[in-house]
């Protein structure tokens, strides 16, 4: 058996929530309204500053399942480049250094997330990690049904998925690491030998202090507010900044075509 390292995604590997960038891609593809993307931007700010609550995560899950219901699997898969374009610039370089250190020591590294497992697999490949597990969405005849295919990989559900994933790959959790920001991931942290709190929320910070766990902190409140404000500004112009970009292109084109007098 081998040791491994498992990394939560939102506010652990990346700044903010991956769900917002999925919503932004849905908006660009015409599957979400401007009002919905603006609402998600506000939720993103709340998440950046405070972290997520169980109630908020469950509400988001219902919205995601309702949003994908009836859509072809291939249509959502085609949004992957837009989703990655939002996520990749927000990956913490400090956490990539941690990932590379584990890999160089011979330990495979995996994303462990409540987000979509197929999307997490693609992101893992982009980051040159060794795989991922997450929440699976049920599909029928190439169309999403709006139901889960298995447990929601959140809280105890994530720990359950972790144990199953490790058993399938002959990974010894008694020698492994787990990284996360949220107290909701306490079951996952308790399942491994080396739990690490990353930019922890208040609940996890207290548990880590009481138990003497390692804590990594590199995100400050001012930076969270600055990035969150940029997210809201992007939503105000259509979820991706495309409106502003179009205005700039049109202005440049008018300048190029305008007669020049000497």
3-state secondary structure of 146: strand
Question: Is the distance from CB of 146 to CB of 68 less than 8 angstroms?
Answer: yes
The widest CA-to-CA distance across the chain, in whole angstroms, is 78
> Distance (Å, rounded) from C-alpha 180 to C-alpha 188?
9
At residue 184's C-alpha, the angle toward residues 173 and 203, to 5°, is 110
Q: Is 36 exposed, middle or buried (0-12, 13-18, 19+ CB in 10 A)?
A: middle
> Distance (Å, rounded) from C-alpha 19 to C-alpha 83?
9
Q: Give me the residue label for tokens 């929530």.
A: 17
Active site residues: 8, 10
Tokens of 233: 């500004």
């Amino acid at each position: 058996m081998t040791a491994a390292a498992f990394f939560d995604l939102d506010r652990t590997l990346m700044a903010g929530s991956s769900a917002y960038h999925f919503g932004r891609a849905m908006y660009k593809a015409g599957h979400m309204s401007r009002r919905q993307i603006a609402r998600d931007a506000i939720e993103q700010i709340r998440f950046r500053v405070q972290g997520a609550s169980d109630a908020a995560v469950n509400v988001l899950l219902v919205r995601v399942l309702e949003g994908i219901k009836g859509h072809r699997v291939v249509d959502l898969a085609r949004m992957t480049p837009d989703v990655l374009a939002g996520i990749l610039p927000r990956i913490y370089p400090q956490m990539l250094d941690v990932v590379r250190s584990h890999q160089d020591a011979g330990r495979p590294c995996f994303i462990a997330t409540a987000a979509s497992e197929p999307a997490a697999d693609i992101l893992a490949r982009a980051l040159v990690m060794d795989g991922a597990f997450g929440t699976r969405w049920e599909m029928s005849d190439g169309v999403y049904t709006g139901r889960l295919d298995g447990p929601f990989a959140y809280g105890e559900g994530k720990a359950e998925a972790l144990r199953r994933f490790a058993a399938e790959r002959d990974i010894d959790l008694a020698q492994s690491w787990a990284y996360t920001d949220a107290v909701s991931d306490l079951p996952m942290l308790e399942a491994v030998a080396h739990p690490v709190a990353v930019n922890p929320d208040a609940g996890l910070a207290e548990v880590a202090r009481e138990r003497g766990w390692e804590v990594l902190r590199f995100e400050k409140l001012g930076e969270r507010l600055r990035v969150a404000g940029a997210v809201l500004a992007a939503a105000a112009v259509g979820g991706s900044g495309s409106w502003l970009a179009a205005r700039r292109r049109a202005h440049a084109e008018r300048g190029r075509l305008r007669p020049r007098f000497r």
